Homo-oligomer: A and B are copies of this chain.
Amino acid sequence: MNFSRYLIPTLKENPSDAEVVSHQLMLRAGLIRKLAGGIYTWLPMGLRVLRKVEAIVRQEMNAAGAQELLMPGVQPAELWRESGRWDFYGRELLRFVDRHDNEYCLAPTHEEVITDLARREIQSYRDMPLNLYQIQTKFRDEIRPRFGVMRAREFLMKDAYSFDASEDAAAQSYQIMRQAYMRIFDRLGLRYGVVEADSGSIGGSFSHEFMVLADTGEDAIVSCPACGYSANLEKAPVRLADAPAAAPKAELQEVATPAAHTALQVAKFLKTKPKSIAKTMIYIADGKAVAAMVRGDREVNEVKLKNILGADVLELAGPSAIVEVTGGPVGFSGPVGLTIPVYADAELAQIPWLVVGANKADAHYTGFNLGRDAAGATIADLRNLAAGDPCPSCGAPPTLARGIEVGHIFRLGTKYSKALGATYLDVDGQAKTIVMGCYGIGVSRIVAAAIEQGNDEAGIVFPLAIAPVSVAVLPMRAEGPAMEAAQRLHDELWALGVDCLLDDRDIRPGVKFKDSDLLGVPLRVVVGPKGLETGEVELKKRTAPQPEMIPMAQAATIIAKLVVDGGGQSL
């Protein structure tokens, strides 16, 4: 592979529209180019990375006994109506009509299609266990696509679906996938965690996420060093000390709080602390307004709230809806006198008095007691676990970290098989409902996540397993003995099965060094005039501080051994 012949359009400057480091570096290294919001072209070097990820995923899925198939991206509305998701999936489901005015969508996921296949082709308990997967393009019409391929609209996903005759067998299929996923992420050379997770719009009873650990990750992870518990913050329950509801300690009293909209402003104005305020947030859940209360220094966990409500769509109410529902403007909502359902975080019940909004401009109540003043409120775990809270499993102090979700495995139970009538004949001749699981890996997102985890000021630090090439050979001059020796080494490496890029461009060596580092190539070999005299070349691992000289005659075998021994790790 000669650099001069390849389309590798590296950029010196950071593109102005890229917010996160992986997006910046993927553009700068010439791995991707944007076509439209959330829609990218993978250039040759980027595609090499993507294909390496894909190959590892495919090998491990096959090794785990899953069978690859390929389902369509364009799917008829009828199937989505059968599952009920045509109405409930929301606007991320891109819908359209064809020339005959039939309704279709661009598939964001394939439970409907695979369950339709299963109900036609699975006849008997003998046809299971069955695990079918594909590596295929998905489309989700994200309201705000961002971070390059990290949260794109069109993206590449591996999605697998298991079919079993019983919950026990399904649990086994789930474990097989969990193990396969760990082998996949091990081989990819990524640091990752496996965490309990919410099942979201896919549904089912039980799920785990695979998180690539990176400080820049969108997700927060709760981990307990004492007991090994690990969960997405969305999912982690808050365990409160068992304590009775606090008795009132003061009268409810309206006070003026001019222009104090936020908990912080109210606390400051009333000379108290945010933890003595109760925030009341108005949400619209499946079209109906509800109120959710948490302490002023806490955040509502919308996933918990959504699950408690059993809602399909949950969003914060806009200003006019708030006025309509509470009678007061944004920033002054409170539970007193509300006619909509009120949900209060459990810790509020243990506080004798709180400040709450009075549902009119520039006014709050002091002395609020949940049991006395909002007796109809539903008390529940509504907030994010925070520093100081105990581990939900063992009670020890957990740690918080950040991660990027790259895999998600679900026990689906019979959610889809029941909706679509996917049954099998059991050993006793009885028709029973198939038990399903589904298992996703964000193939294109893994590329971005690997870069969020592996980068430095010079560029990308790819794990060896997924680098666009394992080795870059840099002749100091594009012609003459250095170029000839470099060409020989390049050819020897390919003959040994090591993928290698020869930077044959007639440019300053400094630019070659920079591009090799920017692309994240794990091993760089410089063939220069000095080495030619001594019969040596300069070998540098991407993250090593210094290069080393190795004999030119053995260079190819030394490097090939490094690549084999390196496994998936960054060098």
A94 cross-chain contacts in B, Cβ below 8 A = 96, 98-99
A40 cross-chain contacts in B, Cβ below 8 A = 72
Chain A 153-180 per-residue mask, 1 if CB under 8 angstroms from chain B, else 0: 1100000000000000000000000000
With a 10 A CB-CB cut-off, give which of A35, A121, A139, A154 has the most chain B CB atoms. Answer: A35
Contact indicator A33/B73 (Cβ below 8 Å): no
CA distance A4 to B125 in the complex (A): 12
Contact indicator A33/B72 (Cβ below 8 Å): no
CA distance A143 to B101 in the complex (A): 12
CA distance A33 to B563 in the complex (A): 43
Chain A 83-99 per-residue mask, 1 if CB under 8 angstroms from chain B, else 0: 00000000100111011
Question: Within 8 Å of chain B (Cβ to Cβ): is A271?
Answer: no
Count, chain A residues at interface, CB 8 A: 52
Interface of A is mostly: mixed
A130 cross-chain contacts in B, Cβ below 8 A = 7
CA distance A36 to B91 in the complex (A): 23
A46 cross-chain contacts in B, Cβ below 8 A = 69
**What number of copies of this chain does the assembly contain?**
2
A141 cross-chain contacts in B, Cβ below 8 A = 98-99
Contact indicator B9/A121 (Cβ below 8 Å): yes
CA distance A72 to B137 in the complex (A): 9
Shortest Cβ distance from residue A117 to the other chain B in the assembled complex, whole angstroms = 6
Q: Contacts A41-B70, A50-B70, A121-B7; is A75 near B132 (CB within 8 Å)?
A: no
Contact indicator A47/B73 (Cβ below 8 Å): no
Question: Within 8 Å of chain B (Cβ to Cβ): is A6?
Answer: yes
Shortest Cβ distance from residue A148 to the other chain B in the assembled complex, whole angstroms = 13
Q: Contacts A7-B121, A9-B121, A117-B41; is A74 near B33 (CB within 8 Å)?
A: no
Question: Within 8 Å of chain B (Cβ to Cβ): is A319?
Answer: no
Question: Within 8 Å of chain B (Cβ to Cβ): is A43?
Answer: yes
Question: Within 8 Å of chain B (Cβ to Cβ): is A229?
Answer: no
Shortest Cβ distance from residue A168 to the other chain B in the assembled complex, whole angstroms = 19
With a 10 A CB-CB cut-off, give which of A7, A9, A46, A143 has the most chain B CB atoms. Answer: A7
Name A72's contact: one of B41, B65, B91, B99 (CB within 8 Å). B41
CA distance A99 to B95 in the complex (A): 9
Shortest Cβ distance from residue A68 to the other chain B in the assembled complex, whole angstroms = 6
Give residues 29-64 of A contacting B (CB, 8 Å). Answer: 33, 35-36, 39-44, 46-47, 50
CA distance A436 to B74 in the complex (A): 31
With a 10 A CB-CB cut-off, give which of A67, A96, A98, A121 has the most chain B CB atoms. Answer: A98
Name A69's contact: one of B41, B73, B154 (CB within 8 Å). B41
Question: Within 8 Å of chain B (Cβ to Cβ): is A5?
Answer: yes
CA distance A558 to B489 in the complex (A): 38
Give residues 420-475 of A contacting B (CB, 8 Å). Answer: none
Give residues 158-205 of A contacting B (CB, 8 Å). Answer: none
Contact indicator B70/A7 (Cβ below 8 Å): no
Question: Within 8 Å of chain B (Cβ to Cβ): is A106?
Answer: yes
Question: Which chain B residue lies CB-closest to A127?
Answer: B7
A36 cross-chain contacts in B, Cβ below 8 A = 72, 74-76, 102, 104
Question: Within 8 Å of chain B (Cβ to Cβ): is A288?
Answer: no
Contact indicator B120/A33 (Cβ below 8 Å): yes
A39 cross-chain contacts in B, Cβ below 8 A = 72, 74-76
Q: Contacts A33-B117, A94-B96; is A132 near B7 (CB within 8 Å)?
A: yes
Contact indicator B69/A44 (Cβ below 8 Å): yes
CA distance A72 to B42 in the complex (A): 9
Question: Within 8 Å of chain B (Cβ to Cβ): is A380?
Answer: no
CA distance A68 to B76 in the complex (A): 31
Contact indicator B44/A67 (Cβ below 8 Å): yes
Question: Within 8 Å of chain B (Cβ to Cβ): is A284?
Answer: no
CA distance A139 to B106 in the complex (A): 11
CA distance A7 to B141 in the complex (A): 33
Shortest Cβ distance from residue A29 to the other chain B in the assembled complex, whole angstroms = 14
CA distance A5 to B132 in the complex (A): 11
Q: Contacts A99-B91, A130-B7; is A42 near B70 (CB within 8 Å)?
A: yes
Contact indicator A154/B5 (Cβ below 8 Å): no
CA distance A141 to B36 in the complex (A): 22
Give residues 90-138 of A contacting B (CB, 8 Å). Answer: 91, 94-96, 98-99, 102, 104, 106, 113, 116-117, 120-121, 126-127, 130, 132, 137
A residues within 8 Å of B by Cβ?
4-7, 9, 33, 35-36, 39-44, 46-47, 50, 65, 67-76, 91, 94-96, 98-99, 102, 104, 106, 113, 116-117, 120-121, 126-127, 130, 132, 137, 139, 141, 143, 153-154
Closest 5 interchain pairs by CB? Answer: A96-B96, A42-B70, A44-B67, A36-B76, A91-B99
Given pairs A33-B120, A72-B154, A73-B73, 19 additional interface contacts (CB within 8 A): A5-B65, A7-B67, A7-B69, A33-B117, A35-B71, A35-B72, A35-B75, A35-B113, A36-B102, A36-B104, A39-B72, A39-B74, A39-B75, A41-B113, A42-B71, A46-B69, A74-B139, A74-B154, A98-B141
Sample 24 A-B pairs with CB under 8 A, ordered by A number.
A4-B126, A5-B65, A7-B67, A9-B121, A33-B117, A33-B121, A36-B72, A36-B74, A36-B76, A36-B102, A41-B72, A41-B113, A42-B69, A42-B70, A73-B139, A74-B106, A74-B153, A74-B154, A91-B99, A94-B96, A94-B98, A95-B96, A98-B141, A98-B153
